Structure 1
Amino acid sequence: MTLKIYGISASRAVRPLWTALELGLTFEHHAMTYKGGATRTPEFLALNPNGHIPVVVDERPEGAVTVWESMACALYMARVHGQADGQSITPATPREEAEALRWSFWTVTELESDALTVLMHRLAMPEAQRKPELADKAESRLKVPLAVLEQHLQAQHAQGEAYLAAKRFTVADVCVASVASWIRPAPHVLLEYPAVDAWLQACLDRPAHVKSRTMG
Protein backbone atom coordinates (compact mmCIF):
# COMPACT_ATOMS: atom_id res chain seq x y z
CA MET A 1 0.00 0.00 0.00
CA THR A 2 1.13 3.53 -0.75
CA LEU A 3 -0.08 6.70 0.91
CA LYS A 4 0.43 9.93 -1.03
CA ILE A 5 -0.04 13.44 0.34
CA TYR A 6 -0.24 16.34 -2.11
CA GLY A 7 0.40 19.88 -0.88
CA ILE A 8 2.98 22.11 0.77
CA SER A 9 3.26 22.54 4.51
CA ALA A 10 2.62 26.29 4.21
CA SER A 11 -1.01 25.50 3.47
CA ARG A 12 -3.84 23.44 4.90
CA ALA A 13 -1.83 20.40 3.80
CA VAL A 14 0.05 20.73 7.08
CA ARG A 15 -2.88 18.91 8.72
CA PRO A 16 -2.51 15.57 6.90
CA LEU A 17 1.29 15.90 7.00
CA TRP A 18 1.23 16.46 10.76
CA THR A 19 -1.23 13.60 11.21
CA ALA A 20 0.87 11.18 9.17
CA LEU A 21 3.98 12.06 11.16
CA GLU A 22 2.18 11.65 14.49
CA LEU A 23 1.02 8.21 13.34
CA GLY A 24 4.51 7.24 12.16
CA LEU A 25 3.24 6.48 8.67
CA THR A 26 5.36 5.96 5.59
CA PHE A 27 4.10 8.19 2.80
CA GLU A 28 5.02 9.94 -0.41
CA HIS A 29 4.97 13.70 -0.13
CA HIS A 30 4.22 15.58 -3.33
CA ALA A 31 5.04 19.18 -2.36
CA MET A 32 2.58 20.76 -4.74
CA THR A 33 1.93 24.46 -4.35
CA TYR A 34 -1.36 26.23 -4.90
CA LYS A 35 0.35 28.87 -7.06
CA GLY A 36 1.06 29.04 -10.77
CA GLY A 37 -1.83 26.85 -11.87
CA ALA A 38 -0.31 23.67 -10.46
CA THR A 39 -3.66 22.53 -9.09
CA ARG A 40 -5.49 23.30 -12.33
CA THR A 41 -3.84 20.71 -14.53
CA PRO A 42 -6.00 17.85 -15.88
CA GLU A 43 -3.93 15.40 -13.83
CA PHE A 44 -4.54 17.18 -10.55
CA LEU A 45 -8.18 17.96 -11.28
CA ALA A 46 -8.69 14.22 -11.74
CA LEU A 47 -7.69 13.90 -8.08
CA ASN A 48 -9.60 16.93 -6.80
CA PRO A 49 -12.02 18.61 -9.22
CA ASN A 50 -12.10 21.61 -6.86
CA GLY A 51 -8.48 22.33 -7.70
CA HIS A 52 -7.31 22.66 -4.10
CA ILE A 53 -4.65 21.11 -1.90
CA PRO A 54 -4.34 18.97 0.12
CA VAL A 55 -5.26 15.67 -1.42
CA VAL A 56 -4.56 12.29 0.13
CA VAL A 57 -4.48 9.20 -2.09
CA ASP A 58 -4.48 5.93 -0.20
CA GLU A 59 -3.64 3.10 -2.60
CA ARG A 60 -5.16 0.05 -0.98
CA PRO A 61 -5.50 -3.59 -2.10
CA GLU A 62 -9.20 -3.03 -2.79
CA GLY A 63 -8.51 0.10 -4.80
CA ALA A 64 -7.35 3.69 -4.37
CA VAL A 65 -9.17 5.94 -1.89
CA THR A 66 -8.96 9.67 -2.57
CA VAL A 67 -9.67 12.19 0.17
CA TRP A 68 -9.76 15.97 -0.04
CA GLU A 69 -10.60 18.70 2.45
CA SER A 70 -7.83 18.96 5.03
CA MET A 71 -9.86 18.08 8.10
CA ALA A 72 -11.30 15.04 6.32
CA CYS A 73 -7.78 13.97 5.33
CA ALA A 74 -6.57 14.13 8.93
CA LEU A 75 -9.62 12.37 10.37
CA TYR A 76 -9.49 9.67 7.68
CA MET A 77 -5.85 8.85 8.28
CA ALA A 78 -6.29 8.73 12.03
CA ARG A 79 -9.24 6.36 11.73
CA VAL A 80 -7.98 4.11 8.91
CA HIS A 81 -4.24 4.06 9.60
CA GLY A 82 -4.13 4.63 13.35
CA GLN A 83 -4.66 2.30 16.28
CA ALA A 84 -7.57 2.97 18.62
CA ASP A 85 -5.45 1.84 21.56
CA GLY A 86 -5.73 4.85 23.82
CA GLN A 87 -2.12 5.78 23.11
CA SER A 88 -2.02 7.08 19.54
CA ILE A 89 -3.77 10.16 18.17
CA THR A 90 -6.64 7.97 16.94
CA PRO A 91 -9.85 8.32 18.98
CA ALA A 92 -10.22 5.24 21.15
CA THR A 93 -13.78 5.67 22.48
CA PRO A 94 -17.09 7.00 21.15
CA ARG A 95 -16.61 10.11 23.27
CA GLU A 96 -13.15 10.76 21.81
CA GLU A 97 -14.52 10.19 18.29
CA ALA A 98 -17.31 12.66 18.95
CA GLU A 99 -14.87 15.25 20.29
CA ALA A 100 -12.63 14.89 17.23
CA LEU A 101 -15.56 15.30 14.87
CA ARG A 102 -17.28 18.17 16.62
CA TRP A 103 -14.15 20.24 17.24
CA SER A 104 -12.90 19.73 13.71
CA PHE A 105 -16.21 20.87 12.20
CA TRP A 106 -16.44 23.68 14.76
CA THR A 107 -13.03 24.92 13.72
CA VAL A 108 -14.08 25.20 10.08
CA THR A 109 -17.32 27.03 10.86
CA GLU A 110 -16.37 29.18 13.87
CA LEU A 111 -12.61 29.81 13.82
CA GLU A 112 -10.98 29.42 10.42
CA SER A 113 -12.19 32.46 8.48
CA ASP A 114 -11.26 35.06 11.08
CA ALA A 115 -8.04 33.27 12.05
CA LEU A 116 -6.98 33.33 8.41
CA THR A 117 -7.77 37.05 8.19
CA VAL A 118 -5.50 37.68 11.18
CA LEU A 119 -2.70 35.62 9.64
CA MET A 120 -2.92 37.34 6.27
CA HIS A 121 -3.28 40.93 7.46
CA ARG A 122 -0.87 40.72 10.42
CA LEU A 123 1.89 38.64 8.84
CA ALA A 124 1.56 36.71 5.60
CA MET A 125 0.67 39.38 3.07
CA PRO A 126 3.20 42.01 1.90
CA GLU A 127 2.96 44.88 4.36
CA ALA A 128 1.72 47.32 1.73
CA GLN A 129 -1.26 45.06 1.01
CA ARG A 130 -2.31 44.46 4.60
CA LYS A 131 -5.45 46.04 5.96
CA PRO A 132 -5.09 46.30 9.75
CA GLU A 133 -8.74 47.26 10.14
CA LEU A 134 -9.77 43.84 8.78
CA ALA A 135 -7.49 42.13 11.28
CA ASP A 136 -8.91 44.28 14.09
CA LYS A 137 -12.46 43.22 13.25
CA ALA A 138 -11.47 39.57 12.93
CA GLU A 139 -9.73 39.64 16.29
CA SER A 140 -12.83 41.07 17.89
CA ARG A 141 -15.03 38.35 16.39
CA LEU A 142 -12.58 35.65 17.50
CA LYS A 143 -13.31 36.46 21.13
CA VAL A 144 -16.53 34.42 20.93
CA PRO A 145 -15.09 31.10 19.69
CA LEU A 146 -11.91 31.49 21.73
CA ALA A 147 -14.02 31.89 24.87
CA VAL A 148 -15.79 28.63 23.97
CA LEU A 149 -12.46 26.86 23.48
CA GLU A 150 -11.08 28.34 26.72
CA GLN A 151 -14.08 27.11 28.68
CA HIS A 152 -13.75 23.60 27.24
CA LEU A 153 -10.04 23.38 27.98
CA GLN A 154 -10.57 24.59 31.53
CA ALA A 155 -13.24 21.93 32.00
CA GLN A 156 -10.84 19.34 30.58
CA HIS A 157 -8.14 20.44 33.02
CA ALA A 158 -10.60 20.07 35.90
CA GLN A 159 -11.02 16.43 34.87
CA GLY A 160 -7.29 15.89 34.56
CA GLU A 161 -7.28 16.00 30.77
CA ALA A 162 -4.80 18.33 29.07
CA TYR A 163 -6.12 18.12 25.52
CA LEU A 164 -9.38 18.57 23.62
CA ALA A 165 -10.58 14.98 23.65
CA ALA A 166 -8.50 13.15 26.24
CA LYS A 167 -5.51 13.23 28.55
CA ARG A 168 -3.37 12.61 25.50
CA PHE A 169 -2.91 14.53 22.26
CA THR A 170 -5.30 13.33 19.52
CA VAL A 171 -6.28 14.17 15.97
CA ALA A 172 -8.79 16.62 17.44
CA ASP A 173 -5.86 18.72 18.61
CA VAL A 174 -4.17 18.48 15.20
CA CYS A 175 -7.23 19.87 13.47
CA VAL A 176 -7.93 22.71 15.88
CA ALA A 177 -4.36 23.74 16.66
CA SER A 178 -3.45 23.90 12.97
CA VAL A 179 -6.04 26.68 12.59
CA ALA A 180 -5.62 28.34 15.98
CA SER A 181 -1.94 28.79 15.14
CA TRP A 182 -2.96 31.36 12.55
CA ILE A 183 -3.89 33.71 15.41
CA ARG A 184 -0.34 33.80 16.75
CA PRO A 185 0.61 36.95 14.79
CA ALA A 186 -1.79 38.66 17.23
CA PRO A 187 -0.32 37.43 20.56
CA HIS A 188 -2.32 39.98 22.53
CA VAL A 189 -5.47 38.08 21.55
CA LEU A 190 -4.25 34.71 22.81
CA LEU A 191 -3.03 36.21 26.08
CA GLU A 192 -6.69 36.76 27.02
CA TYR A 193 -7.20 32.98 26.92
CA PRO A 194 -4.43 31.37 28.98
CA ALA A 195 -5.68 27.80 28.68
CA VAL A 196 -5.89 28.13 24.90
CA ASP A 197 -2.48 29.77 24.73
CA ALA A 198 -0.78 27.05 26.80
CA TRP A 199 -2.54 24.22 24.96
CA LEU A 200 -1.66 25.69 21.57
CA GLN A 201 2.00 26.06 22.47
CA ALA A 202 2.12 22.45 23.68
CA CYS A 203 0.60 21.27 20.40
CA LEU A 204 2.92 23.30 18.18
CA ASP A 205 6.01 22.20 20.13
CA ARG A 206 5.39 18.55 19.26
CA PRO A 207 8.19 17.06 17.14
CA ALA A 208 5.77 15.88 14.46
CA HIS A 209 4.45 19.40 13.97
CA VAL A 210 7.92 20.92 13.93
CA LYS A 211 8.98 18.40 11.28
CA SER A 212 5.85 18.93 9.21
CA ARG A 213 6.63 22.64 8.90
CA THR A 214 9.98 21.84 7.21
CA MET A 215 8.57 19.62 4.49
CA GLY A 216 8.09 22.26 1.80
Structure 2
Amino acid sequence: MNRSSSNLQLNSPHRSSDAESETDKTVYEGEDIVYLSGPSFNLEYVNSQVKLLEAKLNHEKLNFNKMFSDMQSHYKGRLSELEGKLEASKARNSELEKLEGKLRASEAENMQVKELVAEKTKLENYNSKLQSQLEIHKYKLQQSEKKRQLDQENGKNLLNKVNKQLQDEKMVSKDLVKKLAATQLQKEELMKLVDEKELANTVVQKELQEVRTNNQNWQSGKKR
Protein backbone atom coordinates (compact mmCIF):
# COMPACT_ATOMS: atom_id res chain seq x y z
CA MET A 1 0.00 0.00 0.00
CA ASN A 2 1.42 3.46 -0.99
CA ARG A 3 2.15 6.18 1.54
CA SER A 4 -0.24 8.51 -0.32
CA SER A 5 -3.13 6.19 0.50
CA SER A 6 -1.89 5.35 3.99
CA ASN A 7 -2.73 6.93 7.28
CA LEU A 8 -6.37 6.97 6.15
CA GLN A 9 -8.84 6.83 9.03
CA LEU A 10 -12.22 5.36 8.09
CA ASN A 11 -15.05 6.30 10.43
CA SER A 12 -18.46 4.74 10.44
CA PRO A 13 -21.26 7.31 11.05
CA HIS A 14 -23.17 4.83 13.29
CA ARG A 15 -20.23 3.82 15.46
CA SER A 16 -20.86 3.96 19.21
CA SER A 17 -18.26 4.35 21.88
CA ASP A 18 -18.76 0.72 23.01
CA ALA A 19 -18.61 -0.60 19.46
CA GLU A 20 -15.53 1.49 18.87
CA SER A 21 -13.68 -0.26 21.64
CA GLU A 22 -14.74 -3.66 20.25
CA THR A 23 -14.46 -3.14 16.51
CA ASP A 24 -11.55 -0.72 16.07
CA LYS A 25 -8.50 -2.52 14.81
CA THR A 26 -5.02 -1.41 13.80
CA VAL A 27 -3.39 -3.07 10.74
CA TYR A 28 0.34 -2.71 10.12
CA GLU A 29 1.71 -2.87 6.54
CA GLY A 30 5.38 -1.98 6.52
CA GLU A 31 5.61 1.60 7.71
CA ASP A 32 1.93 2.42 6.95
CA ILE A 33 -0.85 2.19 9.53
CA VAL A 34 -4.46 1.99 8.36
CA TYR A 35 -7.30 2.45 10.84
CA LEU A 36 -10.39 0.48 9.88
CA SER A 37 -13.70 0.99 11.64
CA GLY A 38 -16.58 -1.45 11.47
CA PRO A 39 -16.30 -5.01 10.20
CA SER A 40 -19.11 -4.60 7.63
CA PHE A 41 -17.70 -1.44 6.12
CA ASN A 42 -14.20 -2.93 6.03
CA LEU A 43 -15.38 -6.10 4.22
CA GLU A 44 -17.26 -4.15 1.54
CA TYR A 45 -14.24 -1.98 0.92
CA VAL A 46 -11.94 -4.97 0.64
CA ASN A 47 -14.37 -6.77 -1.71
CA SER A 48 -14.61 -3.71 -3.93
CA GLN A 49 -10.84 -3.45 -4.05
CA VAL A 50 -10.56 -7.17 -4.88
CA LYS A 51 -13.10 -6.83 -7.71
CA LEU A 52 -11.28 -3.79 -9.01
CA LEU A 53 -7.98 -5.65 -8.97
CA GLU A 54 -9.59 -8.67 -10.67
CA ALA A 55 -11.00 -6.42 -13.39
CA LYS A 56 -7.58 -4.83 -13.88
CA LEU A 57 -5.97 -8.26 -13.95
CA ASN A 58 -8.45 -9.54 -16.57
CA HIS A 59 -7.87 -6.42 -18.63
CA GLU A 60 -4.11 -6.90 -18.43
CA LYS A 61 -4.52 -10.56 -19.38
CA LEU A 62 -6.56 -9.60 -22.45
CA ASN A 63 -4.00 -6.98 -23.43
CA PHE A 64 -1.15 -9.44 -22.91
CA ASN A 65 -2.91 -12.19 -24.91
CA LYS A 66 -3.63 -9.78 -27.75
CA MET A 67 -0.07 -8.46 -27.70
CA PHE A 68 1.30 -12.02 -27.62
CA SER A 69 -1.01 -13.07 -30.49
CA ASP A 70 0.02 -10.03 -32.55
CA MET A 71 3.70 -10.71 -31.91
CA GLN A 72 3.23 -14.39 -32.75
CA SER A 73 1.46 -13.52 -36.02
CA HIS A 74 4.16 -10.96 -36.86
CA TYR A 75 7.03 -13.38 -36.28
CA LYS A 76 5.22 -16.20 -38.09
CA GLY A 77 4.78 -13.93 -41.10
CA ARG A 78 8.38 -12.81 -40.88
CA LEU A 79 9.51 -16.45 -40.60
CA SER A 80 7.46 -17.39 -43.68
CA GLU A 81 8.95 -14.45 -45.57
CA LEU A 82 12.50 -15.43 -44.62
CA GLU A 83 11.84 -19.07 -45.52
CA GLY A 84 10.57 -17.94 -48.92
CA LYS A 85 13.67 -15.82 -49.46
CA LEU A 86 15.83 -18.75 -48.37
CA GLU A 87 14.16 -21.07 -50.90
CA ALA A 88 14.54 -18.43 -53.61
CA SER A 89 18.20 -18.02 -52.69
CA LYS A 90 18.73 -21.80 -52.82
CA ALA A 91 17.06 -21.95 -56.25
CA ARG A 92 19.22 -19.07 -57.45
CA ASN A 93 22.36 -20.78 -56.15
CA SER A 94 21.34 -23.96 -57.98
CA GLU A 95 20.84 -21.97 -61.17
CA LEU A 96 24.23 -20.32 -60.73
CA GLU A 97 25.87 -23.72 -60.23
CA LYS A 98 24.28 -24.90 -63.49
CA LEU A 99 25.53 -21.78 -65.24
CA GLU A 100 29.01 -22.34 -63.85
CA GLY A 101 28.84 -25.87 -65.28
CA LYS A 102 27.85 -24.42 -68.66
CA LEU A 103 30.70 -21.95 -68.39
CA ARG A 104 33.18 -24.73 -67.70
CA ALA A 105 31.74 -26.69 -70.64
CA SER A 106 32.06 -23.58 -72.80
CA GLU A 107 35.69 -23.18 -71.76
CA ALA A 108 36.29 -26.82 -72.66
CA GLU A 109 34.65 -26.17 -76.06
CA ASN A 110 36.95 -23.19 -76.53
CA MET A 111 39.94 -25.41 -75.86
CA GLN A 112 38.67 -27.90 -78.45
CA VAL A 113 38.20 -25.08 -80.96
CA LYS A 114 41.77 -23.92 -80.34
CA GLU A 115 43.04 -27.47 -80.81
CA LEU A 116 41.05 -27.80 -84.05
CA VAL A 117 42.38 -24.48 -85.31
CA ALA A 118 45.92 -25.64 -84.53
CA GLU A 119 45.25 -28.91 -86.36
CA LYS A 120 43.84 -26.98 -89.32
CA THR A 121 46.97 -24.81 -89.42
CA LYS A 122 49.12 -27.92 -89.30
CA LEU A 123 47.19 -29.47 -92.20
CA GLU A 124 47.43 -26.26 -94.19
CA ASN A 125 51.19 -26.28 -93.75
CA TYR A 126 51.32 -29.94 -94.78
CA ASN A 127 49.11 -29.14 -97.76
CA SER A 128 51.47 -26.35 -98.81
CA LYS A 129 54.39 -28.75 -98.53
CA LEU A 130 52.62 -31.33 -100.71
CA GLN A 131 51.72 -28.64 -103.20
CA SER A 132 55.36 -27.64 -103.45
CA GLN A 133 56.40 -31.24 -103.93
CA LEU A 134 53.75 -31.64 -106.63
CA GLU A 135 55.08 -28.62 -108.48
CA ILE A 136 58.58 -30.03 -108.27
CA HIS A 137 57.47 -33.39 -109.64
CA LYS A 138 55.49 -31.71 -112.40
CA TYR A 139 58.62 -29.88 -113.37
CA LYS A 140 60.61 -33.12 -113.30
CA LEU A 141 57.91 -34.76 -115.39
CA GLN A 142 58.19 -32.05 -117.97
CA GLN A 143 61.95 -32.42 -118.02
CA SER A 144 61.63 -36.20 -118.33
CA GLU A 145 59.24 -35.81 -121.23
CA LYS A 146 61.67 -33.53 -122.99
CA LYS A 147 64.48 -35.93 -122.30
CA ARG A 148 62.39 -38.83 -123.57
CA GLN A 149 61.71 -37.04 -126.78
CA LEU A 150 65.39 -36.23 -127.11
CA ASP A 151 66.64 -39.72 -126.26
CA GLN A 152 64.08 -41.40 -128.51
CA GLU A 153 66.29 -40.57 -131.37
CA ASN A 154 69.33 -42.15 -129.68
CA GLY A 155 67.98 -45.64 -129.23
CA LYS A 156 65.31 -47.93 -127.90
CA ASN A 157 67.26 -48.90 -124.78
CA LEU A 158 67.52 -45.35 -123.70
CA LEU A 159 63.85 -44.88 -124.59
CA ASN A 160 62.81 -47.74 -122.34
CA LYS A 161 64.81 -46.31 -119.50
CA VAL A 162 63.24 -42.91 -119.92
CA ASN A 163 59.77 -44.43 -120.21
CA LYS A 164 60.28 -46.28 -116.95
CA GLN A 165 61.41 -43.10 -115.27
CA LEU A 166 58.42 -41.31 -116.74
CA GLN A 167 56.02 -43.94 -115.41
CA ASP A 168 57.61 -43.70 -112.00
CA GLU A 169 57.19 -39.96 -112.00
CA LYS A 170 53.55 -40.34 -113.08
CA MET A 171 52.89 -42.77 -110.24
CA VAL A 172 54.48 -40.41 -107.76
CA SER A 173 52.49 -37.55 -109.23
CA LYS A 174 49.21 -39.50 -108.98
CA ASP A 175 50.00 -40.47 -105.41
CA LEU A 176 50.69 -36.86 -104.53
CA VAL A 177 47.45 -35.78 -106.21
CA LYS A 178 45.51 -38.33 -104.14
CA LYS A 179 47.22 -37.19 -100.95
CA LEU A 180 46.50 -33.58 -101.85
CA ALA A 181 42.82 -34.38 -102.47
CA ALA A 182 42.58 -36.29 -99.18
CA THR A 183 44.27 -33.45 -97.35
CA GLN A 184 41.93 -30.94 -98.93
CA LEU A 185 38.92 -33.03 -97.85
CA GLN A 186 40.25 -33.23 -94.28
CA LYS A 187 40.80 -29.50 -94.33
CA GLU A 188 37.22 -28.84 -95.44
CA GLU A 189 35.84 -31.19 -92.78
CA LEU A 190 37.93 -29.52 -90.10
CA MET A 191 36.85 -26.07 -91.23
CA LYS A 192 33.22 -27.18 -91.11
CA LEU A 193 33.72 -28.62 -87.61
CA VAL A 194 35.45 -25.43 -86.48
CA ASP A 195 32.56 -23.33 -87.81
CA GLU A 196 30.03 -25.51 -85.98
CA LYS A 197 31.99 -25.31 -82.72
CA GLU A 198 32.39 -21.56 -83.01
CA LEU A 199 28.66 -21.17 -83.70
CA ALA A 200 27.75 -23.34 -80.70
CA ASN A 201 30.21 -21.44 -78.52
CA THR A 202 28.72 -18.12 -79.65
CA VAL A 203 25.22 -19.30 -78.67
CA VAL A 204 26.44 -20.48 -75.25
CA GLN A 205 28.32 -17.22 -74.64
CA LYS A 206 25.20 -15.24 -75.57
CA GLU A 207 23.01 -17.29 -73.21
CA LEU A 208 25.59 -16.94 -70.45
CA GLN A 209 25.74 -13.17 -70.94
CA GLU A 210 21.93 -12.94 -70.77
CA VAL A 211 21.85 -14.98 -67.56
CA ARG A 212 24.61 -12.85 -66.02
CA THR A 213 22.68 -9.70 -66.94
CA ASN A 214 19.48 -11.13 -65.43
CA ASN A 215 21.40 -12.15 -62.30
CA GLN A 216 22.83 -8.64 -61.92
CA ASN A 217 19.35 -7.15 -62.35
CA TRP A 218 17.98 -9.61 -59.78
CA GLN A 219 20.76 -8.77 -57.31
CA SER A 220 20.12 -5.04 -57.84
CA GLY A 221 16.40 -5.54 -57.23
CA LYS A 222 17.13 -7.60 -54.13
CA LYS A 223 19.32 -4.83 -52.64
CA ARG A 224 16.56 -2.27 -53.21
- Please give the range of the TM-score, normalised by the shorter of the 2 chains: under 0.3
TM-score, scaled relative to structure 2: 0.22
Larger radius of gyration: 2
The structure where strand makes up a greater share of residues is 1
The structure where helix makes up a greater share of residues is 2
- Higher relative contact order (Cα pairs below 8 Å, separated by 6+ residues): 1
